[in-house]
Amino acid sequence: MKTNWLRSPNALYFLVGIVIAGLIGVQLYWITTNIRLQRIATEKSLKTDVNAAIKQVVDDAYCVYFNSKAYFKGNEGIYIIKQKCVNDQFIAPPQGYLDTLDMYNVFFSDKDTSFFKSSSLSFDIPATVDILLKFKFAISSAHVKKIDTNSYKLHDINAQNYKEALSNRQTIDEIINPDLLDSMIRKALVKNDCDTVYELGIKRSGASSFEYLKDGSVPGDLSARAIKFSFLGDNFNKPYELFLYIPDPMRHTIRSMMWVMISSIAIVLALILSYMWFVRTILNQKKLSEMKNMFINNITHEFNTPITNINLAIENWRHAKANSEYYMGIINEENIHMEKNVEQILQLATIEHNHIRIYPDRLNINELICETVNSFEIQLEQIKGLVVYNFTADKNILGDRQLLKNLFYNLIDNAIKYRKDDLKINISTYDIKNKIAIKIEDNGIGMSADTQKYIFDRFYRGDKSDRHDIKGFGLGLSYVKYIVNAHKGDIVVESKKGMGTTFTIYLPRHLKTTL
């Protein structure tokens, strides 16, 4: 039992299905793995670029914050002048200083509060500089008992007042330039092919609330899902933490792998379609093989029967030496039977080679139908069948006389074969636009909806058997369909089990091509 199942088509379908499912699984795993790795690589690259952007913003902030403080000794002041710098040395112009603007000197009697000294400030590249000098001082007077600055503490420096003196009391948006930060982060996002829509917030390390939030940023999103960066940290102040959140990071990852995903999906679909085509082909081949076996059985019987009858008739004729007309009739009848069988086999050869040549001629379609029906006169008399005509169409048509006669012959022959008692065939013609419609309707056994799907297939017989009580090889309707197609027409079948069958043929009146 197990061996038989392994040799059955179902085992092949199951095996191929498992292989296809495995290939699809590998494709899906490969796609998801690549998306994950691409996302990790993007986040790593983005962190590096954002860190560089933050460093540039911080450098800009420190340049202003630290270098804008200077230490002055007593009786010293400031004198601002633009001057060249060569080898870290300022060089005065030969003609001397020619400034015409009044310069204000500022002098101190005590030290200022800055612990950072700067004797000069130079620029490596040309720059337009806005200089803002802020001075905070207390008037030295014997009448002032307390000066609310840090300068009075400096004679006794300890860790606490040193930390207080150096502590950064500015807000983060005063220390850094938010516009510069936004510009640098957008450049980093564009460099990594990310959307420039993002959320950003900055707060002190350990703080519960953000000191700075970019417009449209949601604190909950930043705290839960953002990438965190630390900056502006020193020995005296807690560092700031920058939270960057990109709402849809997968969009970039998927977009960057779009062609890979499309090609993978195309491969998967191709595999599925190939599998479906493969299974369908196997099923069709199996069905075709079964129908061919039925055809061989039928044709063997159809030829054996007349040959046997002819041999018997000849043998009896030889011994009887009388009643020759009777035996001659048998031989003639069986010879006609074999001739019809040969004609059907020739029809098969025509269809197999997909070659049929049309010799168009102007025909009277009504006369051609009547002529075809007359060839069944003896059979119709024997079974008491009735044929009713209703011709309303214009009788003239351009077509191949012999092929159209074969078409009508096969349809009427089927109506007789698959009849019930009291056969009645209605044949009508009518005009429809530039075509003529021929309707052949019988009251026979009919056919199921499933049978109607295959009646135009070669070797197909609706009774699903190799019965010999109904003559035929399953070629008639496929031949009919082929003739209709050769005339650029259409054929439609309507039938219900036990309620008869109607074939409607639509043929163009003027045949434009000859095959």
Instruction: Look at residue 236 in the predicted model and tell me its pLDDT.
Output: 64
- Is the domain of 229 the same as that of 361? no
Asked whether the beta carbons of 403 and 358 are under 8 A apart, the reply is yes
Residue 422 in domain: yes
Tokens 């839960």 label which residue?
224
Q: Give the mean pLDDT of 187-196.
A: 78
Written as six digits, the tokens of 441 are: 């309707």
Query: Among 7-21, 27-41, 114-128, 236-250, whose mean pLDDT is lowest?
Result: 114-128
What is the C-alpha to C-alpha distance for residues 150 and 115, in angstroms, rounded to an integer? 11
Per-residue pLDDT for 514 more than 50?
no
- Is the domain of 218 the same as that of 91? yes
Residue 346 in domain: no
Helices first, then strands: H and E counts in the chain: 14, 13
Residue 309 in domain: no
CA distances from 204 to 51, 53, 219, 239, 241 (A): 17, 19, 14, 6, 6
Residue 284 in domain: no
- Is the domain of 226 the same as that of 97? yes
- Is the domain of 238 the same as that of 380? no
Per-residue pLDDT for 257 more than 50?
yes
- Is the domain of 67 the same as that of 187? yes
Query: Predicted confidence band at 108 (pLDDT cuts at 50, 70, 90)?
Result: very low
Domain range spanning residue 456? 356-508
Domain final residue pick, 229, 256, 283: 256
Percent share of the chain, pLDDT over 90: 7
Q: Give the mean pLDDT of 371-400.
A: 85
Name the more confident of 223 and 157.
Answer: 223
Residue 216 in domain: yes
Q: Model confidence over 481-507: pLDDT tens digits?
A: 888 888 889 999 998 888 889 999 999
pLDDT, the chain, mean: 72
Instruction: Say which CATH number the domain at 493 has.
Output: 3.30.565.10
Per-residue pLDDT for 247 more than 70?
yes
Residue 128 in domain: yes
- Is the domain of 251 the same as that of 364? no
Query: Predicted confidence band at 20 (pLDDT cuts at 50, 70, 90)?
Result: confident
Instruction: Look at residue 507 in the predicted model and tell me its pLDDT.
Output: 92
- In eight-state DSSP terms, residue 156 is G
Per-residue pLDDT for 383 more than 80?
yes
What is the C-alpha to C-alpha distance for residues 28 and 439, in angstroms, rounded to an integer? 55
Per-residue pLDDT for 510 more than 60?
yes
Query: Among 20-34, 247-261, 280-294, whose mean pLDDT is lowest?
Result: 247-261
Instruction: Look at residue 150 in the predicted model and tell me its pLDDT.
Output: 44
Please tell me the chain's helix, strand, coil percentages from 3-state DSSP, rounded to the nearest 5.
50, 15, 35
Q: Model confidence over 314-371: pLDDT tens digits?
A: 777 766 665 667 667 767 766 766 776 676 666 666 665 566 677 888 889 999 999 8
Per-residue pLDDT for 440 more than 90?
yes
Number of domains in the chain: 2
Q: Model confidence over 202-234: pLDDT tens digits?
A: 888 888 888 888 888 888 878 787 888 888 776
**Residue-wise burial string across 350-372, b where 16 or more C-beta atoms lie within 10 A, e elsewhere:** ebeeeebebebeebebbebbeeb
Instruction: Look at residue 145 in the predicted model and tell me its pLDDT.
Output: 41
* 68-77, 159-168, 397-406, 436-445: range with highest mean pLDDT: 436-445
**Residue-wise burial string across 59-98, b where 16 or more C-beta atoms lie within 10 A, e elsewhere:** ebbeeebeeeebebeeeeeeeeeeeeeeeeeeeeeeeeee
Closest of 252, 264, 249 to residue 32, by C-alpha: 264
Asked whether the beta carbons of 398 and 510 are under 8 A apart, the reply is yes
Name the more confident of 353 and 437.
Answer: 437
Asked whether the beta carbons of 258 and 266 are under 8 A apart, the reply is no
Contacts of residue 441, defined as CB under 8 A and 6 or more positions apart, other chains included, come to 425, 426, 427, 428, 500, 501, 502, 503
Domain final residue pick, 256, 285, 311: 256
Name the more confident of 102 and 276.
Answer: 276
* 22-26, 69-73, 312-316, 473-477: range with highest mean pLDDT: 22-26
Residue 272 in domain: no
Written as six digits, the tokens of 458 are: 């070669």
Closest of 482, 479, 487 to residue 508, by C-alpha: 487
Per-residue pLDDT for 238 more than 70?
yes
* 43-52, 72-81, 93-102, 425-434: range with highest mean pLDDT: 425-434
Residue 122 in domain: yes
Written as six digits, the tokens of 105 are: 């000197």
Instruction: Look at residue 491 in the predicted model and tell me its pLDDT.
Output: 92
Name the more confident of 139 and 209.
Answer: 209
Residue 347 identity: Q
Q: Give the mean pLDDT of 63-73.
A: 47
Domain final residue pick, 195, 223, 256: 256
Confidence (pTM): 0.43
- Is the domain of 242 the same as that of 362? no
Per-residue pLDDT for 393 more than 60?
yes
Per-residue pLDDT for 143 more than 50?
no
Query: Among 124-128, 170-174, 388-392, 418-422, whose mean pLDDT is lowest?
Result: 124-128
Q: Give the mean pLDDT of 291-299.
A: 66
Per-residue pLDDT for 188 more than 70?
yes
